[in-house]
Structure 1
C-alpha cells in the first residue's frame, strides 16, 4: 500500500493574532504543531493515511502526553532524546481512546526532540515512525 505524504508545521502565538502555517514536505506522514506556549505535538498516521495517534511534549513539567486513536492492536510511543545525551520512550498501551502521561525531570536549560511511532507490543516492530521534531526548549 502506498503511503500518503502530508505534513505541516503550525505555530500559534499567545495573542489574538492568526496562526502562521508553513507546509513542509516529508516522507513520514507526520504533522507537527505548537498547540500552546511550550507544547509541541506530532501526529502519527497509519498506512492508509488515517490519524493513528499523537504525542505532545509539554515543557511545563517536562511531560509527554501520548494518545492512541485507533483500535488496531498497536501502541503509540514517543521516542525522545535531549541535547545532553539522555534518551527515553513514553508508551501508551491502554488502547484506542486512551491518553497517558510520562513525567520526567529534565535539565531546564537544555533541549529535547521527539518522534512518534506505532509499535506492535512493548518490544515489537516499529511502524509509521515520524521524523524528529525540531529541538524544543525544555524550560
Structure 2
C-alpha cells in the first residue's frame, strides 16, 4: 500500500469514527449540566421510569424524586443520570462506586414538570468533570 492510499484509508476511518460518535455525544447538552450530584451508595433500586445501555442503567422514582444509577462497565469513568427539565434545571447524578454498584441522588424536582434523562458517562479529575457521552434518552412527567 502506498502512502497516498494509506492517507485516504486513514481519512476515511477518521470520518467514520466521527460519524458514529456524533449522535451519542451531545456537547451542547453535556456542557449545560450546571450541577453534579454525588450519589449515595444503595443496595435496592426503586424504579418508575428506567433506561440504559451496556455502560449504565438509570431509573427515576417519582415519589421522592430519586435518580438511581448503576454502573455496568468496568472502566475509570463514572456512570451518571444526566437530566434536564422543561423549566430549565439541569444536572447529573453520578455513581463513583464502580461496576455493579448502585447509587441514588435525592433531588427536589417540580411536580408535573417534564423531565428528560440520559445515561451519561463522566470522567472526573479531582474537582473537574466532563460528560463524555449521553445516550438512551427517556422523557416523562414527574406526576406522582
Q: Aligned-residue CA RMSD in angstroms?
A: 2.6
Q: What's the CA shift string for 1:55-78, capped at 9, x where partnerless?
A: 111111111000001211111111
Corresponding residue of 1:57: 60
Give, in whole Å, the separation in 2 of the partners of 1:86 and 1:120: 22
Structure with the larger helix share: 2
Give ranges in structure 1 of 5+ residues lacking alignment. Answer: 4-26, 29-37, 45-50
| Correspondence 1:10-21 to 2 at 5 A | none
Give, in whole Å, the separation in 2 of the partners of 1:135 and 1:125: 22
> Taking structure 2 as the reference length, what is the TM-score of the superposition?
0.60
Following TM superposition, the consecutive aligned residue runs of length 4 or more in structure 1 with deviations greater than 3 angstroms are: none
Would the aligned equivalents of 1:81 and 1:88 in 2 still touch at CA under 8 Å?
Answer: yes
Q: What's the CA shift string for 1:36-61, capped at 9, x where partnerless?
A: xx7111113xxxxxx12111111111
Corresponding residue of 2:132: 126
Give, in whole Å, the separation in 1 of the partners of 2:48 and 2:94: 18
Give, in whole Å, the separation in 2 of the partners of 1:134 and 1:80: 9
Q: 1:42 aligns with which of 37, 41, 51?
A: 51
Give secondary structure in 2 for the equivalent of 1:60: coil
If you compute each CA radius of gyration, which structure gives the higher value, 1 or 2?
Answer: 2
Q: 1:124 offset after TM fit, Å?
A: 3.2
> Taking structure 1 as the reference length, what is the TM-score of the superposition?
0.62
Give secondary structure in 1 for the equivalent of 2:135: coil
Corresponding residue of 1:81: 84
